[in-house]
A and B are shown apart, each in its own frame.
Chain A
Amino acid sequence: MSWPPLFPLPIDPATAILLIPAIGVLLLVGLPSYKLGSRFNVLFAFATFLSSLYLLVERPPLGRYLFVDDLNIVFIVLGGFVAVTTSVFSASYIGHELETGRLTPTNQRFYHAMYQALIFSMNLALLANNIGLMWVAIELATMTTVLMVGMYRTHAALEAAWKYFILGSVGIALALFGTILVYMAAQPVLGEGYDSMVWTTLVAKAHELSPDLLNVAFVFLMLGYGTKVGLAPLHAWLPDAHAEGPTPISAVLSGLLLNVALYAVLRFKMLLSANPNAIAPGPLMVVLGLVSLIFAAFMLYRRRDIKRMFAYSSIEHMGIITFAFGMGGPLANFAGLLHMTMHSLTKSAIFFAVGHIAQVKGTQRLAEIRGLTESHPALGWGLVIGVVAIAGMPPLGIFMSEFLVVSSTFARQPLLAVPLVFGLMVGFGALMLRLTQVAFGEPSGGMAPVEASYVPLYSHLALVVGAGIYLPGPLVAWFQNVARLLG
């Protein structure tokens, strides 16, 4: 799908979405003022998002290092949008943290620069046409988020950053071993050098590659990048990183970074599917997805910290998405893509609400947050809509995608649908139980009004509610096309 260019651009949009955040890093690291810093942060994120929209209109030619196809555009545009709204949310969030003295002005300079560095590395990972470059970009994204998770310098934050760092590095190391094995498989066919690491040539020649090496490689890649997706049993870093870092980072982690890691897994899955003699990558993904779903659903009951609870909910949903892509086929892939989009929007909206809640109430403990809809109606009802959506109630967007996952599973593997539905039900119960405690009843804790814009929160919620009622035709056609591509 492509339209004729509207007007010529001085540089092609793929370069722009890398260049803009890169300039942002250099500029923001030197800006001492918080007001200017946060505004420029929003501005750069917005400019990146606009350039990514331009990718829909005009695609740069296939390069040796960068390429754009129907699959990665979905991730880039979604990521660009969440990055903009999160930067708006983070402007008010960080302002509050500076007032209360939890962050120093030096911290905020560093924070904004890292935010742009994260956008840069995620876009690089998504655009990379080279498996080595993609690996380097994902490593860079891990580094920037580690630094932001540890930013409060409290004991708990440093512990969380350390744990994230160690587990993330092990994951990244395993992924590199898998990448080397893919190169080894490609080298006899494609020759030495760059061609053997380029996506487009790898996929074109996938049927000639050694299936044994690809099998071993996929196990390493699945475990390595799966660690970054947060799949159980490799998820241990995820709840800590979400709970102890600044809340905008929790929103970006759940809404963007997990998707980028999943994108890497999907690419390698496509490579294996194109080789008739290699193992089917689906069953491994189905098993990891189901384990994550059921494990996280039960863990939701025991949480005492509100951010940690929604972090487990992210594990649950990444499990569902991995499961859907593992099932494969046009319908399940479509459901997986839709679920990924809806989850990104909903979960980041929930973290926006949670960030404001934690600031006005002065606590993240679930037991100390009560009656939000009475004390802060706009915030409380925002959280209610978000949690109802994430739990999968009709008619919101996530209900639709979960329904598609379940029905496509019933049609093909009815037995697998049983644990899937069981996990969904368990998770649903836990979220509803906590929601009634937090949102209704006698208000407790701080009553100060929220001095922040609700635009990011409600724009996400509006999209999720809207998608549940009506999905625009072109979007459906696009997703169906990508779903076919994924095989």
Chain B
Amino acid sequence: MERFLLDVAHLLAGGLVLTSFMLLYQTRMSSLLAVFALQAVVLTLSVAWQAHVQNAPHLYITAGIALVLKAIIIPYALSRVVRSLGIHRSIETVGGIGPTMLAGMGCVALSMVVMLKATATANPLAREDLAFALSVVLLGLLMMVTRRNAVSQIVGFMSIENGLILAAAGAKGMPLVVEISVAFSVLVAFIVIGVFLFRIRERFDSVELQALDDFRGERR
């Protein structure tokens, strides 16, 4: 039974890493948001499973927030932003998909090496969760670096956040997990509202060098 609990947790956490890889190779905005919603569902399942295994009912709240906010409301709101602001439907990437995927594999290998070594004495359930969580965080960072447009940067940031929620849920008995997930949700809501209100369209559309020069305050 112990073994089974561990295997399912392992499977779900691994699924989260897999969806992070899927985010890396999306080239269309709509599919990017769909994959992100899928990742949020996997996160929900994973957190709910941790709640079940650890017998920690408050984690179900975190799982619920992930499901409602990140799997439904935010992808829907962002796709409306994409439509209403007329943002390009395809995503510009820095470097190709191939090198990015290779770098992503490097990130996962790195986090396995670092975390499994550092947590040799910890509880195996938490240990693997943590290693996978770090992979998701690093892949999210990689996505933020390789994407130029703001919506995909937001998606990258939210996938980092998914990794953190996974880590916090895996750390047995960690207090404030619910509070932290609420704080993060407020943060994300801020971004989405900010995008709506400010309509920084240029930011979403192009990265002209001229705009960047202005931005650095080097205008003449």
Contact = CB atoms under 8 A, between A and B. Distances in A.
B134 interface: yes
Interface string B128-159: 00100110010001001000001001000100
Given A173-B137, A183-B174, A166 B121 contact: no
A197 interface: yes
Interface in B175-220: 175-176, 179-180, 183, 186-187, 190-191, 194, 198, 200, 202-203, 214-218
Contact of B121 (A136, A140, A159, A210): A210
Contacts of B37: none
B118 A162 contact: no
Contacts of B215: 156, 159-160, 163, 240
B102 interface: no
A170 B183 contact: no
Nearest to B200: A158
B39 to A, nearest CB: 16
Contacts of B168: 176, 180
B35 interface: no
B203 to A, nearest CB: 6
B160 A173 contact: yes
A32 interface: no
Contacts of B214: 155-156
Nearest to A143: B190
By DSSP majority rule, is chain B's interface helix, strand, loop, or mixed? Answer: helix
Given A136-B180, A139-B183, A177 B217 contact: no
B191 A187 contact: no
A135 interface: yes
A170 B160 contact: yes
Contacts of B120: 212
A239 interface: yes
A304 B144 contact: no
A351 B130 CA distance: 44
B101 interface: no
B167 interface: yes
B126 interface: yes
A277 B195 CA distance: 47
B66 interface: no
B122 interface: yes
A176 B180 contact: yes
Contacts of A174: 137
Contacts of B12: none
A465 interface: no
B115 interface: yes
Nearest to A163: B215
Interface string A204-240: 0000001011011000000000000000000000011
B127 to A, nearest CB: 9
B114 interface: yes
Interface string A127-158: 00010110110011001001000100101101
Contact of A192 (B122, B137, B141, B172): B172
B195 to A, nearest CB: 9
A132 B178 CA distance: 11
B173 interface: yes
**A-B CB proximity, top 6 nearest:** A192-B173, A132-B176, A212-B118, A305-B217, A216-B118, A180-B167
